[in-house]
Amino acid sequence: MAANMQLMNYDCNAELYAYEHVKTCDKKPSPPEERPDSFHYLENIHILETNETSLNNSFIVQTVSYGDDTELSDKM
């Protein structure tokens, strides 16, 4: 079991926000103050270099997690 994994909950609003931000293709994290419920939303942006994509051979994957800063092991 992963010892430092955060407990996360699925959130439809977070999914929609992440989807809309990824469509901008700016390759930058969104400003924290513009994120919904910015105290709880964290953001990771990964740029994967590949020949399979059309935007400067880059593909942006954005994941949004929601939860407190408590590690999963503390919840078990």
- Give per-residue pLDDT as tens, 28-48: 888 877 777 655 677 777 766
Arithmetic mean of pLDDT, 7-23 = 80
Q: Does residue 7 belong to any structural domain of this protein?
A: no
Chain-centre distance of CA 59, in angstroms? 14
Q: For residue 68, is pLDDT > 80? A: no
What b/e readout covers 1-31, taking b as 16+ CB neighbours within 10 angstroms? eeeeebbeeebeebeebbeebbeeeeeeebe
Q: Does residue 6 belong to any structural domain of this protein?
A: no
Q: Residue 64: which domain range? A: 12-75
Q: Does residue 33 belong to any structural domain of this protein?
A: yes
Contact 27, 60 (CB under 8 A): yes
Give the pLDDT of residue 49. 66
Q: Does residue 18 belong to any structural domain of this protein?
A: yes
Q: What is the CA radius of gyration of the chain?
A: 14
Q: Does residue 5 belong to any structural domain of this protein?
A: no
Q: Does residue 3 belong to any structural domain of this protein?
A: no
Domain count, the chain: 1
Q: Cα–Cα–Cα angle for 67, 11, 65, nearest 5°?
A: 40
Predicted TM-score (pTM) of the model is: 0.46
Give the pLDDT of residue 39. 54
